[in-house]
Structure 1
Amino acid sequence: MGSPLLSNRSSGQRLGITEPISLSGPTEDDVIKTHELEKFLQDAGLYESQEEAVTREEVLGRLDQIVKIWVKSISRAKGLNEQLVQEANAKIFTFGSYRLGVHGPGADIDTLCVGPRHATREEDFFGELHRMLSEMSEVSELHPVPDAHVPVMRFKFSGVSIDLLYAKLSLWVIPEDLDISQDSILQNADDQTVRSLNGCRVTDQILRLVPNIQNFRTTLRCMRFWAKRRGVYSNVAGFLGGINWALLVARICQLYPNALPNMLVSRFFRVYTQWRWPNPVMLCDIEEGSLGLQIWDPRRNPKDRFHLMPIITPAYPCMNSSYNVSASTLRILSEEFQRGSDICEAMESSRAEWDTLFEPFAFFEAYKNYLQIDISAENADDLRKWKGWVESRLRQLTLKIERHTYNMLQCHPHPGDFSDKSRPFHHSYFMGLQRKQGVLVNEGEQFDIRLTVEEFKHSVNLYTLWKPGMEIYVCHVRRKNIPKFVFPGGVRPPRPSKATWDSRRAMELKAASSSQVDKSPEGQGTPDEMDEGRKRKREEEVESNLKSARIVAALPSSTGEAQESVLASVATNGAGDIGHDVVQNHITGGSAYGKPSGSVADESSSREAENLAIEKITSVSYVACPDFSKELDELEDDVQQKDKYEDTDKSGKSPPMVSLTSNVAATAVMSSNGISTSGSFYTSGDIEELEPAELMAPPSIVNPPAPPTQRKPLIRLSLTSLGKAKGKGT
């Protein structure tokens, strides 16, 4: 379905906004390591069987037939003449992981139905087509979501999961050879159609902008698997989703166009460890276009100025695909990139293998303190809607905690949810908490985030489709009290007996520390202190970049002069002038296939030259931006809270405050209904619980039931207990 498979490039034209860092080809070791990687991915079960692949093709073919029948049916019903009825057509396109060729067994297929101007979304797509699908025996679990930001119809067809979007074009007849990559396709399209088309247009553009599609696919499949194992694959949680990882990998492929996946994976970590966020990652220049659609432009759009990790889509209208990233999740991503870079370096000297890179992150061993967010509903349908809404708001809790504690309390959201089988219609989410590394802690000092949590719950309870039974609870739970249902089989695992990369590194640090202590009376600190020092340094680098870096982008202007100036600056200051030639001389050693000379000095010089080229590409600056740490635009619901607090202040009552406090006495708390109550310290074992405030019925609900009496909400977290775990126990 959609555009034909794009072939690899052999013409040698430059892809990307800068010259490549290296044109060197694979060494014999690269070929061997790439084969090992492909085998590892095969053994991990990341490739579907031939039988499943054939089934998917059959399902897509059948779906294409169905929408063609559907559009002819509604055309006849609308009174079109017989010729137009016969010419009426609709077409199915694919996008996402399936179109990119990196989907795994059981993955859903992202599809787009493109229809003519007289086939409406509300009445015809979600009406007549939905009715047709509901009557088919092959279709199950049919679930329309017409009010989503990108309206979608979800269902299973012969067991294959389908997400079907709809785009209504301004054409009377949809040609079978329709090319949706042309910007003219967006002419007179509504916002929902533009967003629906965007997935296909971006996916196809990525495939056009990578030098070798097969190497891109293997590398992307690897990075997706790595991200899931390390717990950083989730757009909604504030990490990165499928399109984000695809764009990051595509940029590395542009910078190393002749490299095999082994080298591409290594360079992925090397480049993004050094990347100076919030400089954006872009596969091509940003074009303003002629249709007047809003594009990513920090000069014109205030919200764009606060994006921490911009990854820009390559199809018009170009947008930031990673606006959900927060200060906390950027810190975690940066740590994971550094870990990946360290392991890839160790692999080059045979001190690590591929399975080391993919060791899963032990989330429930990593912290001493967690927030547990529980949600429940009356039935499965209500839970599905409530769950989707809460998940879309969870990132706000991270942002609020960061802002209200001045980034002193750092959050690590788990990307998935958990369900307790003994409690129907119930799900739980978890967030690791730790104080900022290197911050001096006063004795007995605590984080008081009660009002922050209450503010979050209040915004969640404003859900317009809220129904009785939709509840949310938040509590503080210590590591040793993490509920067992989060673990496989409901059994808490023992301390890992197998040495992991992180534990081995800690032992190496300890050995290095011991030898330094013997040589110096001052010593070098404990392994934990050395490890925290490295992490603190990386955090400081990230914060420094967020405050001082300038946006790197070929931003459009009405005259085109600004864009030409930017491109000239890239050519002058980017990797092209020193990176490409210098790296070629050292990396390739004068050979087209990059055979190393064997000299340690040459290898060191090559690495230094490559790092210099990376530094050039990642740090060119053009447009100044304000302090990124505020993220005020990401907290739209704070406007409502502010209004409420101002009204309270006018009435003579003190507005609620979130602060760092060492006071353990009762504190005034503002409940979600605006009534000030007295909070008292409530403890249940080792769990400090935050019960839900009154469920807020949205304005559309008339005469909601009276909420039950609630206990006073309270969470206090001791600063001294919020350090990250180092395997010492709780």
Structure 2
Amino acid sequence: MADKKHHRQKTMVTGGGGNNQSYQNNNSSNQQQPFNQQQQSSNIGNFTKKSYPKKNYSQFKNQDQNQIKQNSVFDDPFEESSYLKFLMSERYHIYEDIAAKERRYEALQKLKEIINQWQIDHAVNVRKINQQEAQKRQSCLLPFGSYEMGVHFPDTDMDLICVFPQYILQEDFFNTFKTFITSQKDVENVIDVVDARVPILKLKFMGNQIDLLYACIDPKLLNEQVKIQKIIKDEQVFNKLNQVSQNSLNGLKATQNLIKSVPNPRKFKIFLRCIKLWAQRRGIYSNTFGYLGGISYAILVAKICQDHPDLELVDLVHKFFEVYSEWKWFDPVFIKIGKKKDNTKLDLNKLQVLDAYSQDIMPILTPNTNPKNSAYRVCQLTFDTICSELYRGKQILKQLAPSTLKVIKQPDEQEESIPQTQTDNQEEIKGGDLLQQQILTTSTISLPKKICWTKLFQRFRFFGNYNHFIRVDVLSTDESGHLKWQGYVESQLRRLIQLFQDVEQIQGLRIYPRALSRDETRDTMNDQFKCCDSYFIGIKFNETGSQASVNLREQVINFCNFLEIGRVTKQINNVRILHFKKSELPEELIEKY
């Protein structure tokens, strides 16, 4: 492997790395701080795990600012982990309250009733199934993904699989059922995405965004005595399903395998929430735009949990950035699934497995016996962005060392600088993070100046880091077809990024991973269209491009020609692509994002 060249070696991150076997020895040069003999210790990799009495993060709620200042450098990993949980809960509010959980549960129960009502009526009236038989073989509604794992945020959508008897066809689901559920109370924004790798029916129900997947199995297996979760474990039964059903149920299988593969599910969930928070704040959480999605981050986190089962939360976070900032991405990331006595394991030399990632830039394999690359949408530019953010996180955590690695440095020792953006400094100066400022400016601690945990989660201010932007306006004269048109354009924007990356004068590109409304952009150019949602691509030109005009017309025309294939209605839907300088954008937009 040492001489292996790879087409993905162009990256913003330099330095050594190691993968499955080698990365566990990366920090061999780190020195350990001496500790009390009464504290028990055990070596895990290159960390020294200490035993301390566990503390609850709620202790920070009642502390005044002076006490919080004293906690900027912690004595033990349990206390620092508690502080990290406190930040996630009380500062960033990533947990749902009881009322929101109850509303989600109520929505699921009502949605299940609606689906069963339609299935029975359709089976009896269209498929001519006996009424009693149709009522006996009711459908199943199975959650998977972040909601099933219990790591969802308050605004996260729910991924659900509708498992029907085989006499309910896929076209029935995406046509008849779509019409039926659109007419139901509390249902809005129903969109079918049938040309995706896994066809989805998107809708908003009782205020919850929901993605519905279709699957069907033998009607004899649909009864109260048999659980679908047990059925899909049987590979012989699973392989007899049609390909559409297998693709849909693979998400549920991956969710189950993830939870069962980690040594401590509770620690895994908190760890994953922390990494998801970081990814969202840094603008690299979106499978649609070519970044990583929830399943990819879950696999990366599970890998660290498997390889380092005894580390505390703060040490796991440190290890996450240390490992993946140096990962050699011609090797895939995958986790061990199944017990030792099981035959369920991943053979990377199988042709079927090699085909799953051989042409991809960032292979992160799903934990199934027939894996797929969950990061197949990552392109070269988004790959570079992800790597640069991982490198930034690693450099921050070098200064914010885990408690098990903290060493008092001499004043003349120099630390490697953290790559800062313009807005990293701006956010500190503007006073938006009072807690962080008070910690950073404290003089009551004799240790060298440290960075607070909030530095890791600082939001990437997109418009503060670029001077040129491409704005893609998705336009419609009618609301009914706008959402589907917008979803199609959004899913293809990474193609425009790939077209731009071949322009010599362009040094860097980054897409903002969500649409901005007309009110946010202060749009006045598209008044003839009732609906307008805008996407922004930040561009950095090299010295040649900054001193001369750059013509991107050819790339824009090619992208528009491609969009014409999926254009729903020419009289209703349109797209407009424009160039803006930062000075031409509203000040409110620049300050907010």
Aligned partner of 1:413 in structure 2 is: 511
Aligned partner of 1:297 in structure 2 is: 354
Counterpart-to-counterpart distance in 1, 2:174 and 2:362: 36
Q: Is the contact made by 2:80 and 2:314 (CA closer than 8 Å) also made in structure 1?
A: yes
Aligned partner of 1:214 in structure 2 is: 266
Task: State the secondary structure of the residue aligned to 2:516.
Answer: coil
Counterpart-to-counterpart distance in 1, 2:319 and 2:459: 21
Distance 1:381 1:20, change over 3 A: same
User: 1:103, CA displacement in angstroms?
Assistant: 1.0
Counterpart-to-counterpart distance in 1, 2:182 and 2:467: 49
Structure 1 gap segments, 5+ residues each: 1-15, 495-730
Distance 1:140 1:444, change over 3 A: closer
Cα displacement string for residues 310-349 of structure 1 (whole angstroms, at most 9, x for unaligned residues): 1111114301111111221111111111111111121225
Distance 1:270 1:457, change over 3 A: same
Aligned partner of 1:281 in structure 2 is: 333
Q: Is the contact made by 1:26 and 1:258 (CA closer than 8 Å) also made in structure 2?
A: no
Q: Which amino acid aligns with 1:339?
A: R
Q: What is the aligned residue count?
A: 464
Aligned partner of 2:533 in structure 1 is: 427
**Which fold has the larger relative contact order, with Cα–Cα distance below 8 Å and residues 6 or more apart in sequence?**
1
Q: Is the contact made by 2:362 and 2:375 (CA closer than 8 Å) also made in structure 1?
A: yes
What pairs with 1:440-479 in structure 2 (closer than 5 Å)?
Answer: 441=544, 444=547, 447-479=550-582
Aligned partner of 2:79 in structure 1 is: 32
Aligned partner of 1:345 in structure 2 is: 398
Task: State the secondary structure of the residue aligned to 1:112.
Answer: strand
Counterpart-to-counterpart distance in 2, 1:277 and 1:338: 14
Cα displacement string for residues 465-504 of structure 1 (whole angstroms, at most 9, x for unaligned residues): 24224222223222222345634xxxx579xxxxxxxxxx
Task: State the secondary structure of the residue aligned to 2:317.
Answer: helix
Structure 2 gap segments, 5+ residues each: 1-18, 25-43, 53-75, 338-342, 407-448
What pairs with 1:671-710 in structure 2 (closer than 5 Å)?
Answer: none
Cα displacement string for residues 549-606 of structure 1 (whole angstroms, at most 9, x for unaligned residues): xxxxxxxxxxxxxxxxxxxxxxxxxxxxxxxxxxxxxxxxxxxxxxxxxxxxxxxxxx
Aligned partner of 1:335 in structure 2 is: 388
What pairs with 1:543-692 in structure 2 (closer than 5 Å)?
Answer: none
Aligned partner of 2:248 in structure 1 is: 196
Decide which of 341, 348, 360 is 1:307's aligned counterpart: 360
Distance 1:310 1:31, change over 3 A: same
User: 1:375, CA displacement in angstroms?
Assistant: 2.4
Distance 1:183 1:376, change over 3 A: same
Counterpart-to-counterpart distance in 2, 1:27 and 1:231: 36
Aligned partner of 2:320 in structure 1 is: 268
User: 1:171, CA displacement in angstroms?
Assistant: 4.2
Decide which of 146, 163, 168 is 1:119's aligned counterpart: 168
Aligned partner of 1:607 in structure 2 is: none
Distance 1:67 1:442, change over 3 A: closer
Q: Which amino acid aligns with 1:363?
A: F
Counterpart-to-counterpart distance in 2, 1:187 and 1:308: 29
Task: State the secondary structure of the residue aligned to 1:412.
Answer: strand
Task: State the secondary structure of the residue aligned to 2:510.
Answer: strand
User: 1:84, CA displacement in angstroms?
Assistant: 3.1
Aligned partner of 1:381 in structure 2 is: 480
Counterpart-to-counterpart distance in 2, 1:134 and 1:417: 24
Task: State the secondary structure of the residue aligned to 2:481.
Answer: helix
Decide which of 97, 100, 109 is 1:52's aligned counterpart: 100
User: 1:71, CA displacement in angstroms?
Assistant: 3.6
Higher mean C-alpha deviation, range 472-481 or range 382-391:
472-481
Q: How big is the alpha-carbon RMSD for the aligned residues of Structure 1 and Structure 2?
A: 3.1
Q: Is the contact made by 1:149 and 1:192 (CA closer than 8 Å) also made in structure 2?
A: no
Task: State the secondary structure of the residue aligned to 2:400.
Answer: helix
Q: Is the contact made by 1:100 and 1:207 (CA closer than 8 Å) also made in structure 2?
A: yes
> Are 2:379 and 1:326 aligned?
yes
Q: Which amino acid aligns with 1:252?
A: I
Cα displacement string for residues 627-654 of structure 1 (whole angstroms, at most 9, x for unaligned residues): xxxxxxxxxxxxxxxxxxxxxxxxxxxx
Q: Is the contact made by 2:191 and 2:484 (CA closer than 8 Å) also made in structure 1?
A: no
Q: Is the contact made by 1:140 and 1:156 (CA closer than 8 Å) also made in structure 2?
A: yes
Task: State the secondary structure of the residue aligned to 2:472.
Answer: strand
Counterpart-to-counterpart distance in 2, 1:408 and 1:59: 48
Counterpart-to-counterpart distance in 2, 1:128 and 1:456: 34
Q: Which amino acid aligns with 1:105?
A: P
Q: Is the contact made by 2:474 and 2:532 (CA closer than 8 Å) also made in structure 1?
A: yes
Aligned partner of 2:211 in structure 1 is: 163
Distance 1:420 1:81, change over 3 A: closer
Distance 1:26 1:283, change over 3 A: farther
Q: Is the contact made by 1:20 and 1:256 (CA closer than 8 Å) also made in structure 2?
A: no
TM-score, structure 1 length as denominator? 0.58
Cα displacement string for residues 387-444 of structure 1 (whole angstroms, at most 9, x for unaligned residues): 1111111101111122353x963311111121223554112211122246xxx75995
Counterpart-to-counterpart distance in 2, 1:442 and 1:358: 33
User: 1:226, CA displacement in angstroms?
Assistant: 0.8
User: 1:251, CA displacement in angstroms?
Assistant: 0.9
Counterpart-to-counterpart distance in 2, 1:443 and 1:166: 50
TM-score, structure 2 length as denominator? 0.71
Q: Is the contact made by 2:120 and 2:131 (CA closer than 8 Å) also made in structure 1?
A: no
Counterpart-to-counterpart distance in 2, 1:94 and 1:454: 41
Counterpart-to-counterpart distance in 2, 1:140 and 1:443: 46
Counterpart-to-counterpart distance in 1, 2:473 and 2:213: 31
Distance 1:445 1:147, change over 3 A: closer
Counterpart-to-counterpart distance in 1, 2:388 and 2:51: 29
Counterpart-to-counterpart distance in 1, 2:268 and 2:456: 19
Aligned partner of 1:110 in structure 2 is: 159
Counterpart-to-counterpart distance in 1, 2:267 and 2:136: 41
Q: Which amino acid aligns with 1:220?
A: L
Aligned partner of 2:446 in structure 1 is: none
Counterpart-to-counterpart distance in 1, 2:456 and 2:110: 41
Distance 1:102 1:397, change over 3 A: same
> Are 2:464 and 1:365 aligned?
yes
Aligned partner of 1:92 in structure 2 is: 141
Counterpart-to-counterpart distance in 2, 1:141 and 1:477: 31
